[in-house]
Amino acid sequence: MIDTLKERPISPVSERVTTTVGTDEERVTAALATFGKTDALSASAWLRAIRESARKKAGELGFPTTNDEEWRFTNVSPVLQLPLHPAAPDRERVTRKDVERFGFGLDSYRLVFVNGHFSQDLSLLPAAGTDFQMGSLAAQLKSGSAELEKHLTRHAHYDDNFFAALNTAFFQDGAYVFVAADKTVPKPVHLLFIGAGSETGATVFPRSLIIAQRGVHVKIVESHVSLSDLPVVSAAVTELVLGAEAEIEHCKVQQESERAFHIATVQAVQEKDSRWTSHSIATGARLARNNVQTLFGASGASAVLNGLYLGHADQLIDHHTVVDHAQPRCESHEFYHGILADRAHGVFNGKIFVRQDAQKTNAKQTNRNLLLSDNAVMDTKPQLEIYADDVKCTHGAAIGQLSDEAIFYLRARGIGVDLARRMLIQAFASDVIERIGIEPVRVELAKMLGERFQST
């Protein structure tokens, strides 16, 4: 079932920046040169080679346009209109109080990044001598490790993804979490990326690597927030490696300023009987694109991909998921909900590969959308490629409005029309929120949704 509503190009960012001129190609070349100037991570030869190849690839791929199938509904050209440059560290712009505000009241380890740069002062790290490591990826790269070389940049492919290529070529820092086999992490780990950019076009490339070896259970919250309200760009990549029987719950919360551009890839790779639960909660940014992808590298693995996107005003929020059933007896469940008000535009593309060997695959995908205004637009597209014959795959997409019957029922009990609408919207959202297993985050997000819909 394909429900594709009318296409609508997004309008360009309100403020035109005239410092960038020339063709798209010239702009890309200029951007590559600008980002290439500040590479502090050239210590290891292996990484240097990869970065050089990624940079070349970015040049070859060129900036995506709506002619690219992967970007058909999402016009990222406003990004290229910005005077792109590496964001300054600006660590002093962020206070402890700011950090607490974004902490979900969660008792967690916390890795804080300001404009993509690690801030030791603002972070909460485990005491030395624990069974696991976490901290700055840049620092880890300096000391070097076999795990890094084995995994970093090896999973999130950049040969067909311009922004992942940019990130790979130019990332300066990000989170590194490593938990050795059968070790326990007593608290969730919160990766907090704060945008405090002071200039239009400031760009960050957060890069994170999470490794959970055999049998490890770990909960990760990855949140992206803004302290400034300028058109800045964040192109993030997170790689998650799940060893056999490992379980990662990864909750990504994107609440950036509504003038920011957020383009991210989350790539998991899963060993035998591992379990990945992914939540992508997206409420911020002028334009947000999330690639959420997993590769089943061995049998018996399972993935649950939940998503909730809320758009209002002129926001565009795009999710592209890829579940690659490369091995037999794996299970995937995708459950994405969107709520779009005003002139907001939502995009969902759910790709499921079932490879020839992947017998006994069970894949399920659901995308439901609530349009709160006549001018809101949703494009949704399931994309199933099935090469095995003994599989169970279902998918469904729906685009609808609040039910008049339900509103009337609530009103007939004395509930005013505004409250009735709000109750129904929140009910729709809570279907996804309820699935978050990290309670303070779930509670905080439910509260945030309530406040957001107060005015809807």
Partner 1 sequence: MLDIRNLCAGVDGTPILKNLNLQVGPGEVHAIMGPNGSGKSTLAQVLAGKSEYEVTGGEVIFNGTDLLEMKPEDRARAGVFLAFQYPVEIPGVNCTAFLKAALNECRKSRGETELDAVEFLQLVKKKTQLLELDQALLNRSLNEGFSGGEKKRNEIFQMAVLEPKLAILDETDSGLDIDALRVVASGVNKLRRPDNATLVITHYQRLLNYIVPDVVHVLVHGRIVKSGGKELAMELEERGYDWILETVAANGKA
The residues of the shown chain that bind partner 1, judged by CB under 8 A, are 403, 405-406, 408-417, 419-420, 423-424, 426-428, 430-431
Angstrom distances, CA of residue 200 to CA of 17, 197, 203: 9, 8, 9
Nearest residue (CB) to partner 1, 393 versus 407: 407
Q: How far, in Å, CA of 175 to CA of 170, rounded?
A: 15
Say if CB 226 and CB 258 are below 8 A apart: no
Shortest distance (Å) from residue 427 CB to partner 1 = 3
Angstrom distances, CA of residue 269 to CA of 19, 342, 381: 41, 37, 24
Nearest residue (CB) to partner 1, 388 versus 402: 402
Angstrom distances, CA of residue 204 to CA of 173, 197, 233, 320: 9, 9, 6, 21
Nearest residue (CB) to partner 1, 143 versus 454: 454
Nearest residue (CB) to partner 1, 160 versus 418: 418
Nearest residue (CB) to partner 1, 205 versus 453: 453
**Dihedral over alpha carbons 247, 273, 388, 393 (to 10 degrees):** -50
Shortest distance (Å) from residue 410 CB to partner 1 = 7
B/e letters for 389-426, b = 16+ CB within 10 Å, e = fewer, are: eebebebebebeeeeeeebeebeeeeeeeeebbbebbb
Shortest distance (Å) from residue 404 CB to partner 1 = 8
Shortest distance (Å) from residue 315 CB to partner 1 = 23
Q: What angle do CA 105, 106, 111 make, to 5 degrees?
A: 115
Tokens matching residue 16: 């035109």
Shortest distance (Å) from residue 419 CB to partner 1 = 7
Shortest distance (Å) from residue 391 CB to partner 1 = 29
Q: How far, in Å, CA of 434 to CA of 443, rounded?
A: 9
Q: In DSSP terms, which residues pair with 333 in a beta bridge?
A: 304, 364
Nearest residue (CB) to partner 1, 282 versus 420: 420
Q: How far, in Å, CA of 20 to CA of 22, rounded?
A: 7
Nearest residue (CB) to partner 1, 384 versus 402: 402
Shortest distance (Å) from residue 403 CB to partner 1 = 7
Distant-in-sequence, close-in-space partners of 297: CB < 8 Å, separation ≥ 6: 269, 270, 271, 326, 327
Shortest distance (Å) from residue 436 CB to partner 1 = 15
DSSP conformation letters of 123-162: EE-PPTT-SEEEEEHHHHHHH--HHHHHHTTTSS--TT-H
Q: How far, in Å, CA of 279 to CA of 308, rounded?
A: 8
Shortest distance (Å) from residue 367 CB to partner 1 = 16
Shortest distance (Å) from residue 401 CB to partner 1 = 15
Q: How far, in Å, CA of 291 to CA of 256, rounded?
A: 17
Burial of 16 (0-12, 13-18, 19+ CB in 10 A): exposed
Nearest residue (CB) to partner 1, 112 versus 420: 420
* Identity of residue 431: D
Nearest residue (CB) to partner 1, 415 versus 443: 415
Shortest distance (Å) from residue 398 CB to partner 1 = 13
Shortest distance (Å) from residue 452 CB to partner 1 = 16
Say if CB 191 and CB 218 are below 8 A apart: no
Tokens matching residue 38: 């500040």
Nearest residue (CB) to partner 1, 392 versus 411: 411
Nearest residue (CB) to partner 1, 22 versus 416: 416
Nearest residue (CB) to partner 1, 218 versus 433: 433
Query: How many CB atoms are located within 10 Å of the residue 137 CB?
Result: 24
Instruction: Round the CA-based radius of gyration of the chain to a whole number and report it.
Output: 21
